[in-house]
Amino acid sequence: MARMVGFTRIIRLPWLNRMLELAGEGLESTQMRDELEEYLSFEITSPTNRRKTREILLLPWTAEDAALEALRPEALRLAESHQYEQLAIHWGMLIVAFPMFGDLVRLIGKMCEYQDEFTSAQLKLKILDEWGERSTVVKGSEKMLASLNAIGVVQRVKQGRYVLAQKVAVDEDLSLFLLHADMLAYQSGYRAFAELGMLPELFPFELSLSKERLVEDARFSVGNFGREFTVSLREG
């Protein structure tokens, strides 16, 4: 069965911030939906487009999904203590909620390990190879890339050509949240400590991680594999 894309509208940072505010107020899903409907009505005139946008914003906070449910309490706690640094929170929720978004940003990060810029055509070919040649995949990849440009983590320099924006340094609490989200999204068995600062899907961020905090954090198990300090998700 074809995997669901679920992300076919452009999403903007103020909308993500508003969604996070509503989630922090402890509203029921129907109340959040109504609040978003009113909020988005000032910017999106089409009822259909407004509904699709609203559902994208709601899904990370309302879907019955074990990985998202594991992330939400920490995301809300961080939102209170990092009111001006919420991009990392949105990023962690999105890569878990929308697998294609997670794959797309991982591809962008990998491409930019070896080149200064990438093209939308290159990205489309790679995501179609992973997700199949479907119209929803094409549309989804276009809207996701446009969303990344709107959020400011990539910048369009010419028609169809993009570069990465400067990385945002995040503190250890946000870094641990991103690592937790990353390992849930990509179902990682374990990762070597040395690679944690170079995960391609977290390309917008400069992480700050210490072995000491990882040892203390109940979300993770640490060990040694082939003489490398390794990190995995704690079971249960």
- Looking at the chain, the whole-number percentage of residues with pLDDT higher than 90 is 88
User: How many domains does the chain contain in total?
Assistant: 1
Residue 78 located in a structural domain: yes
Residue 47 located in a structural domain: yes
Residue 143 located in a structural domain: no
Residue 152 located in a structural domain: no
pLDDT score recorded for residue 89: 98
pLDDT score recorded for residue 2: 56
Could you count the other beta carbons within 10 Å of the beta carbon of residue 71? Answer: 23
Residue 35 located in a structural domain: yes
Sheet of strand 117-119: strand arrangement: 117-119, 161-164, 154-158
Residue 130 located in a structural domain: no
Give dist(CA 185, CA 188) in Å, integer.
8
Q: Which domain covers residue 34, as residue numbers?
A: 13-84
Q: How confident is the model at residue 236 (pLDDT cuts 50, 70, 90)?
A: low
pLDDT tens by residue, 122-150: 999 999 999 999 999 999 999 999 999 99
Burial class (CB in 10 A: 0-12, 13-18, 19+), 162: buried
Give dist(CA 156, CA 63) in Å, integer.
32
Residue 34 located in a structural domain: yes
Give dist(CA 88, CA 57) in Å, integer.
15
pLDDT tens by residue, 206-231: 999 999 999 999 999 998 877 889 99
Residue 146 located in a structural domain: no
pLDDT score recorded for residue 189: 78
